[in-house]
């Protein structure tokens, strides 16, 4: 297709036959369908684009904050399991007691912080 929307073969054939209308395919002529009016006609395209970029940034920021919140929550609950060797020595706990302790800490964190 040429810039004016006619197939190349039609333009070449018109040039050979001497027709001026099709032979001079101007670049400014466009046979594309008219653009639909935007949903928000009163807002310019650049303003809409800026607004969407702001919304995307806000969504990414919210996602990152929630990700970090859940990560710290998970790490905080796993700290108890990491200190079990020290608790066993200092408090003289068995593995069963450490398991109960971890369950109680998890339940208390759930009740208090959720």
Residue 2 has pLDDT above 90, yes or no: no
pTM confidence score: 0.41
Q: pLDDT for 7-50, tens place per residue?
A: 555 556 655 665 555 444 544 445 566 566 556 555 566 767 77
Write down how long the chain is: 114
Question: Minimal CA–CA distance to 6: which of 20, 23, 34, 35?
Answer: 23
- Whole-angstrom Cα distance, residue 108 to residue 102? 10
User: What is the DSSP annotation of 36-65?
Assistant: PPPSSTTS-HHHHHHHHHHHHHHHHHHHHH
Report the Cα 83 to chain-centroid distance in Å: 38
């Amino acid at each position: 297709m040429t810039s004016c929307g006619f197939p190349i073969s039609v333009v070449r054939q018109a040039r050979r036959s001497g027709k001026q209308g099709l032979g001079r395919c101007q670049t400014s002529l466009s046979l594309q369908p008219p653009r639909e009016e935007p949903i928000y006609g009163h807002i310019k395209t650049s303003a809409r684009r800026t607004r969407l970029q702001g919304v995307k940034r806000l969504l990414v920021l919210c996602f990152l904050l929630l990700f970090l919140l859940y990560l710290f929550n998970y790490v905080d609950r796993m700290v108890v399991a990491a200190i079990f060797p020290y608790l066993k020595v200092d408090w003289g706990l068995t593995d069963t007691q450490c398991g109960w302790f971890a369950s109680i800490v998890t339940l208390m964190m759930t009740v208090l912080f959720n």
